[in-house]
Amino acid sequence: MTAGRVNWEDYFMNIAKEVASRSTCNRKHVGAVIVRNKTILATGYNGSISGLGHCDEDGHDMVNGHCVRTIHAEANAIVQSARNGVGIDESEIYVTASPCYDCFKLIANAGIKKVFFGEFYRDERINKFAKSAKIELIDLSK
């Protein structure tokens, strides 16, 4: 590695952090970047349904301590790739916070093989199912 030049993992996580700055739920800003062969395929951040009010403007829709108004960053990145006809099978995803169980299921069924995350966030179930689904979880906070 050239002095001063970031490695690929840091590069894509830095981009995920920038994507998170677009989040519209001030409870937690999360960004995701889907990558294959060092090429960005899609990005996503947590935000409301397109065309509807944002948490930051209209308030939160809370259920069991979680805001359910937002679509999570990982789901938005997967949806963006689908809407644009971009295949993401055999790709990697960089997420600023580890996926919830529902997003992990989407990641698995989308064919994403590696999940890089910047912090572990809440849901231990992903560790159990990642092994079974042959998905590598990589904690970049260490």
Positions annotated as catalytic residues are: 74
> What burial class does residue 80 get, using C-beta atoms within 10 Å of its C-beta: 0-12 exposed, 13-18 middle, 19+ buried?
middle
Cα–Cα distance, 34 to 44 (Å, whole number): 9
CA end-to-end distance (rounded Å), the chain: 20
DSSP H or E run through 138: strand 136-139
**Which residues partner with 92 through β-bridges?**
35, 114
As separate numbers, helices (DSSP H) first and strands (DSSP E) second, the chain gives 5, 7
Residue found by looking up tokens 């990982």 in the block: 74
